[in-house]
Amino acid sequence: MQKKLVIAVLAGVLVGWLPAARAQDSKKPGGAGLDQVLSLMDTAAANFKSAEANFVWEQYQKVVNDTDVQKGVIYFRRSGGKDVQMAADIQGPAKKYVLYADNKVQVYQPGIDQVTQYAAGKNKADFESFLVLGFGGSGRDLERSFEVSLADNEVVDGVNTARLDLTPKSEKARGMFNKISLWVNLKNGVSVKQQFFEPSGDYRLTRYSDIKINEKIPGDAFKLKTTSKTKYLNPQS
């Protein structure tokens, strides 16, 4: 479950395996075309500095036919003009903090006062490609890693969106998620909803609300609230 959490957090949030030409434009009646949506994401990525949003994650496990729901606040910021950092304050049902910065993922569980650390290492590009999905990733980057199609134009929680269906080009990525759906706000090019489908039939559905782009983020958002007795584990070492 810990590994699933790390993958889900990084996935909740795009891109960089193989080059590709821009997909042929398609358009649903009365809605935005694919090229228009990807261009909107390009503009959003060029101007992106930070983001903050409330989230609800629904993780469905097919084998047991069970859905686990987690809620909290997620933060993104672009550091040094390029690298993207992410922090998630998971507020329930079990309190957790997740931080991606300095080329590693840290998961802090206050209940047992323990931090589990995962070094990105050679997987840094993969980590960061999923990390910026819908928050700071451009349309051009999206097409490098995925076959992209415009599925429909939909209203999500009162927001006009375009739903993009993504199929990873990399066999490695398809082994993790064989399909991803991304609902993009047609006003600002930011994702308001995401769904990641695993080959097993499991999926993760994420909804974002109260999204703030390029506004001031709390100073301690990217710091783990550890104690002097916190234990540190490094499963990959």
Is residue 225 in some structural domain? no
* Cα dihedral 187, 189, 190, 193 in deg (nearest 10): 80
Among residues of the chain, what percentage have pLDDT more than 70?
Answer: 78
- In angstroms, the CA 99 to CA 105 distance is 6
Q: Comparing C-alpha atoms, which of 46, 4, 15, 231 is closest to residue 128?
A: 15
- The number of distinct structural domains making up the chain is 1
Is residue 223 in some structural domain? no
Is residue 37 in some structural domain? yes
Q: What is the mean pLDDT of residues 219-226?
A: 91
- 46: CATH: 2.50.20.10
Sign of the Cα pseudo-torsion (184, 187, 192, 193, in order): negative
pLDDT in tens, 23-37: 333 444 446 789 999
Select the more confidently predicted residue: 11 or 92: 92
pLDDT value, residue 127 = 62
Is residue 120 in some structural domain? yes
Is residue 16 in some structural domain? yes
pLDDT in tens, 48-96: 899 999 999 999 999 999 999 999 999 998 876 667 889 999 998 889 9
pLDDT in tens, 135-174: 777 888 888 888 999 998 999 999 999 999 999 888 888 8
Is residue 230 in some structural domain? no
Is residue 62 in some structural domain? yes
Is residue 130 packed enough to be buried (19+ CB in 10 Å), middle (13-18) or exposed (0-12)?
A: buried
Is residue 217 in some structural domain? no
Cβ–Cβ contacts within 10 Å for residue 93, how many? 9
Q: Give residue 7's domain range.
A: 2-211
